[in-house]
Structure 1
């Protein structure tokens, strides 16, 4: 025999009841006898609770609520049954609802709803739904039998959470099933005590009814039908990537449900576990899905972790004091005090030094728990043996569950390393000697992020996902988005997923938790109504909704820089094409480096110098290997080198500047290139990376344009100025040409100094052959002294810069491992 149980969402309306009937018909066709346990129609139990509240508060709306319940069932009956079958069923529904009204009126006269009366009122939900489903099934199975579980399941008189008398119940169930043939439709959730008074079985009571009956008749299996594809690896509402678990052991399922998994309640599994009856959790709305099988054995070799679950609204109660060390009975008194006052302890954690012990309780129990413990330890508090008893609210418990964790080293690292990398603070940790679960406490604001981080690390470790937020959607930012779109398949083949979750430019911004389509980002950004606000954009990044977050600065603005420190401190990695942070004050440079190091996040800015050339990483690798930078000479402006390479006096210099702007070689304001500001920033950064801690004003800079450029001049005026100085520039060019040399704009740093100036180079110098937008860097170091290290390649251009940014991002993705 199979026991099928259908939850409230499965029978919420006529169409769903029809679907349930189809599933039952399919199951009876297997040749095995079937019994069905049914919950109240979706929403009805909630309405019945409102009836209780209305009666207790004398709100006088209980009758209208009952009539809504009546209308719901009458409407379903009319939709499901042929006209000739309706009168008797409709009359039965109205009779039950009239009985309910009488009970509510009687209780309202006392303005009180006792636990016994509450159980009786709540019983009408299952009685109505089971009788209705039974009538629907009789259309196909004329011998279908309505069974009131109060006749076959006996409990004590602890109303609201009655304890089952298994001996009496099993005998009654077996006798009933032997004496009655046909398809049985049984009310879930309800039972009765020895005097015949209605009781209820508490949370997941209908599941409990199903397993009680299954154990009594030695059923072959129990199927729990709900609105989910089985037990999930995490709560899909918090972790969209959650997936169903194929197999669970009874202990695993109990651990998951104890810590918040909504499908099952631990007590409801107990009868099935005692008889080793497999329990299948299936989806009424996706019946072809196999769901989850809960049985005596876990799925060996199918992953270490089975699932992650959580509990909200938790408070942590701490008892601390040096006088606790070595004193027997402290824990006993603490737990006894709480237990005697019906305060449930959810988690326990104690320091090995014995100087502190903490317990997690429900938030609503926090104040009372603190009061009780202060009372219990009043003598110790007065004597200073216990220094404090206090609570922390707004917390959540996360539990990582799996039987295969036993005796496997490194599981804790798999759990806590990604949490630390994402800046999630752990308040308390608990792990039993059975090694079945690792539980810990976090701030409730961090719960969503913690679950997503863990789920990716434990269940999606084959995919390293970054959540990307980008400032700047111009030539560089736009091309980078294009590259990410073009290389999506290639990146996935390397197990890397780059999900664009936020974009901002000078006008608009968009933040999307589920990601922005990189093929349609322009449309999505422009159609979004949010006006650009970098403060709010930054707040979205650090809100706790996103794990493994990376901020990309593809601007040349000072505005994003002021948020770098906050982002790094919130465990957000940064990839910057923008040089302004690293070339601002030395204090800012050091602070950002220290923040990244302290939070163990990445601050990558390879494109700050040389576009896509490996410059910054080369310096770091040299120093890491014990080398010492003595001197760096470099042509660092691809823009200026292109201008100098192209210039031969036939095309005016200002025309070449205009062409460089058109090709995207220049900075947004070309004066930064011609004044030497951009090159000065680059050599300053190289100096700092080399260990020469200079301030910006210490870089001696000569402009490219003879005579310099006035401050505050706009682009059009700048081009006019260049045009007026064509003769001066032509003179410089002719002078170098006459000596067989070429003009190069060279930056250098050594021994704590740095400079940028126009230089004439001869044919033997590596700079002489540079063409177009090429950059060239010559490193003279302790190890590369006689033959300096030379790096040469394109140092400007949208493609190479965007590719350099992408490489920096991919390096971060490759580091996202436990």
Structure 2
């Protein structure tokens, strides 16, 4: 015997009803099958709202007619697909049931209330009609069907709306029924009968529960719960993109997952199958070939002992404190006895004896009732000051990690709290040890999604994921994307995954997903109609909760650089080749670093000085070990390195500049290079890194160009006008050559913090003498490196080396 249960989403329309019939037929060929059916999707909720609506009788009858029409349309559609389906007979049965319902509603309207004994009769119509329709589908396919009446055969105790089945007695009743072994057994879910023979319902997830009960009563070998998901996942896949399907879990693990919010099975459903050790499989009617998840006595899977990260939101915490809690046994006993008497569910409890305080968490829906109940119970203690006023903390959530013997495993708790700490999520309460299968923490509801995602990644995903939002797809940005794509497999071997989430330029943006990837981003970017500006960007970032999220700025946009503090506060690391932030005011420079430290985020800008050269990192490592600078000289511009190298080869200034532009060494307008301001900005970054509190205006710039060149904004006009300087520069180069020297454009930092940028004559003993062709060279004279300086030399311009430096910074986020 196999028990199948189909939920409302599996019976949502004619096609799905017939798909369920196909599954039943297939299963019944192998062994006798019993089937429990829910109401079609949303029908029960619809009937509940009819009870709750305080409207006139005519309007109620209209709503009942609408519900009736849903079923009539359903069987019409079934008839269209399955011609032998007995439409008229089914229609008559549906009309009979709804006529009964209308009479009941008329009676309810007359007495102006709906007694609790009547409510189950109304809200269970959907299940009863599902069975009628399925019986007719199967009979039209020449199957014999036995319908079990749950009111007669499932004896229950409890209230009309939340009963519990007496399995022992129900088993005896069903055993007396002589069911032909060839017959398919159908039973409506959600329904049972009390000792008086009245119809009652089984509360939340009642259909699943009645399926587990019937499986127990029939001694079924297996219970299959068919729903609209492939099985049990390690987290809710709607909020955790890399959640994966579990092959199997134990009854206890399933119980813990359900108790703490996972939409698997209600704990009441697991109790019967656990008691009688009936394996249960969660299956998907939308993907019938998926294996599903097996719930059994012992988890024999080779999977991780961890099973999931789940959550409950809409939680409130009650804080009860006062001197009378010193005698905590009596007071605590009274608190929980009072709540148990009122059937209030307590989810989590923590206690502090030293502070005479006890906290407990419950669902938001019960908060007012609990408050009034406890206030009444402890009226005297509160009046006498022995108990403080009840304090309620709202807008909370409980985040739980579930696994096999989790309390005995090393490092699980530390990973949980480290993950939360890195995201600056405060833990308000902890439950660990009360169950060997779970660790639970109470956090603010606003942090829930980020907490679930971060902890899931930390515990279940071996790969280190970096979520990247790239702004700027000029030469450097495009080169970076090519490098990331090229290194994808190499990084995969190191368990590193770079997920490009967004690519943007100054006008529009593109979101990447499973269909739009790095392989086809350019084509899709051209098609994108998504506008880009700072307002839109901030909205996107506000809704991004993934850990290790990084904004890469490959622009030279000053407005964007002024958003860095805001980005960091919103949980983002920053990697930038844009020098504008580090060369802004000293106040803003310090604010970025203070914020990054406070928020535990990284701000990386290696390419601000030497493109791909490891300048910043090398300096930081030196100074971290106690070294200090005595002086610095460097060629900090790849474009000017190239131009001045060509001058000594006899090429004129204007021609050398044109060549540098063609090779991509210069800015779009070479005036920006020859003005010396770019070198000054790089020198400012270095000086501040070393520890000098200076502004850009404090750096002395000896201009390459006369004052009259400042108004030349057009690149072509500028290059023509530059010819005016060719002769004077040729003379200056020749004069230096006669002395055995060369001209170089050099940035200097003296020990006292004086910074300057100027053209210098360099002799052949100087490390900068042979630096040309676009190379950068930086000479650091420090306490450790003297009299021979530390020299960093290499290409300091070009898209590939700059992109390489950005890429290196990106990987430092997780390394």
Provide the TM-score with structure 2 as the length reference: 0.93
Structure 1 position 536, deviation (Å): 3.0
Map of 1:106 onto structure 2: 107
CA distance 1:628–1:436, change in 2 (3 Å): same
Residue 758 of structure 1: SS of its match in structure 2?
strand
Deviation track 1:74-118 (CA, whole Å, cap 9, x = no partner) reads 325524654474443332233223222222233233332222222
Measured in 1, the distance between the counterparts of 2:16 and 2:370 equals 44
Map of 1:37 onto structure 2: 36
Q: Check the 8 A contact 2:117/2:160 in 1, yes or no.
A: yes
Pair 1:145-2:163 in alignment: no
Deviation track 1:770-799 (CA, whole Å, cap 9, x = no partner) reads 121101112222222233222111000011
CA distance 1:117–1:466, change in 2 (3 Å): same
Map of 1:767 onto structure 2: 768
Map of 2:174 onto structure 1: 173
CA distance 1:84–1:290, change in 2 (3 Å): closer
CA distance 1:668–1:493, change in 2 (3 Å): farther
Map of 1:262 onto structure 2: 263
Map of 2:467 onto structure 1: 467
Residue 241 of structure 1: SS of its match in structure 2?
coil
Structure 1 position 385, deviation (Å): 5.8
CA distance 1:84–1:119, change in 2 (3 Å): closer
Q: Check the 8 A contact 2:324/2:331 in 1, yes or no.
A: no
Equivalence map 1:380-779=2 (5 Å): 389-461=390-462, 463-511=463-511, 517-648=517-648, 651-667=651-667, 670-705=670-705, 709-710=709-710, 715=715, 718-753=718-753, 754-779=755-780
CA distance 1:374–1:619, change in 2 (3 Å): farther
Q: Check the 8 A contact 1:649/1:730 in 2, yes or no.
A: no
Deviation track 1:652-694 (CA, whole Å, cap 9, x = no partner) reads 3233323333433224554342222111221222222223333
Q: Check the 8 A contact 1:513/1:546 in 2, yes or no.
A: no
Q: Check the 8 A contact 2:131/2:186 in 1, yes or no.
A: yes
CA distance 1:65–1:104, change in 2 (3 Å): farther
Structure 1 position 762, deviation (Å): 1.5
Stretch of structure 1 that moved more, 240-249 or 484-493: 484-493
Map of 2:794 onto structure 1: 793
Structure 1 position 10, deviation (Å): 1.4
Measured in 2, the distance between the counterparts of 1:515 and 1:320 equals 56
Measured in 2, the distance between the counterparts of 1:369 and 1:717 equals 80
Equivalence map 1:308-387=2 (5 Å): 308-320=309-321, 324=325, 327-351=328-352, 353-374=354-375, 376=377
Stretch of structure 1 that moved more, 651-660 or 551-560: 651-660
CA distance 1:770–1:434, change in 2 (3 Å): same
Deviation track 1:246-270 (CA, whole Å, cap 9, x = no partner) reads 1111111011111221121000111
Provide the TM-score with structure 1 as the length reference: 0.93
Map of 1:2 onto structure 2: 2
Deviation track 1:154-175 (CA, whole Å, cap 9, x = no partner) reads 1125111112223321211222
Measured in 1, the distance between the counterparts of 2:708 and 2:439 equals 66
Measured in 1, the distance between the counterparts of 2:788 and 2:531 equals 55
CA distance 1:602–1:179, change in 2 (3 Å): same
CA distance 1:378–1:106, change in 2 (3 Å): closer
Map of 2:812 onto structure 1: 811
Measured in 1, the distance between the counterparts of 2:323 and 2:500 equals 51
Superposition RMSD on alpha carbons, in Å?
2.7
Measured in 2, the distance between the counterparts of 1:170 and 1:771 equals 92
Residue 231 of structure 1: SS of its match in structure 2?
coil
Measured in 2, the distance between the counterparts of 1:67 and 1:218 equals 36
Structure 1 position 651, deviation (Å): 4.0
Structure 1 position 708, deviation (Å): 8.1
CA distance 1:799–1:383, change in 2 (3 Å): farther
CA distance 1:101–1:799, change in 2 (3 Å): same
Residue 29 of structure 1: SS of its match in structure 2?
helix
Map of 2:277 onto structure 1: 276
Structure 1 position 2, deviation (Å): 1.5
Structure 1 position 565, deviation (Å): 1.0
Number of aligned residue pairs: 812
Deviation track 1:575-596 (CA, whole Å, cap 9, x = no partner) reads 0101121122222222222222
Structure 1 position 496, deviation (Å): 2.0
Measured in 2, the distance between the counterparts of 1:340 and 1:110 equals 30
Map of 1:127 onto structure 2: 128
Measured in 2, the distance between the counterparts of 1:242 and 1:479 equals 32
Residue 156 of structure 1: SS of its match in structure 2?
strand
Map of 1:211 onto structure 2: 212
Pair 1:47-2:34 in alignment: no
Deviation track 1:274-310 (CA, whole Å, cap 9, x = no partner) reads 1111111111222222211111113465213101112
Runs of at least 5 residues in structure 1 that lack an aligned partner in the other structure: none
